[in-house]
Structure 1
Amino acid sequence: MAVAPGRSPREPQAGEANIRGKTLYLWSDLWPAVDHEGEVLEFFGTKTRDKVSVLKFMRKAMRRYGNPQIVVTDRLRSYGAAMREIGNAHRQETGLHLNNRTENSHEPFRRRERAMSRFRRLRSLQKFASVHSSVYNHFNHQRNIESRA
């Protein structure tokens, strides 16, 4: 990638990963992927952010965790299209700060990804993401969620 002098290459944004120099999208901050307590339920990696990818992830997550009461997303149009097709459009909420919990849920994943110097294949990214979320949830209990008693 050619970079102008004095500038650094673009770092991956939230929900993105670099594999062999190409940007892939992580569906880590989607619908039932993070529950109401901030626990990561599901990671899903894909090359595109289109309706087909969203439908694939939603069906997989709904099979495992059931139908969610509320679905919080950002304003990407493919989310709305997928929600209409599934029949959950009335449960979708979009807002400026509503998805902060999901945006922050993959920060530990990002730190570990940087330490590993990125991933080479989508398959290895998917395997690492699924194992990382379950191990992280087991050992990291957030203080504001648990009671002192």
Structure 2
Amino acid sequence: MNNKSPFRYFKTSPEIIRLAVMMYVRFPISLRNAEDLLHERGIDICHETVRYWWNKFGPMFSGEIRKNRTYPSQNYSKWKWHLDEVFVKINGETHYLWRAVDHEGEVLEAFVSKRRNRK
């Protein structure tokens, strides 16, 4: 079985790529703010590099997080979530972005719909 690293063609270490992607995903910051925070830590990369890494490695990291996440039992009283609705414009059309967010602020699920209701 041949397990090739998805980072094999990148000069930057996997730890820095993971830090940049997780910093952008976990905190509500822009790509340029992520670039500035990494620059303060001595990592000189462009905001477009963070965007490219997010597009390339984001699904892989989210799969690892979901796989390692421990789900509390349904009767655990402190485990709560809420549904967040946001209006977004995509190609000039209004769409609805729905997100299920847990009590720690982590997005459990998200989807975009053209209509507010399912009817």
- The alignment's TM-score, normalised by the length of structure 1, stands at 0.24
Rg bigger for which structure?
A: 2
Higher relative contact order, chain-length normalized (CA < 8 Å, sep 6+):
1
More strand by share: 2
| Higher-helix-fraction structure | 1
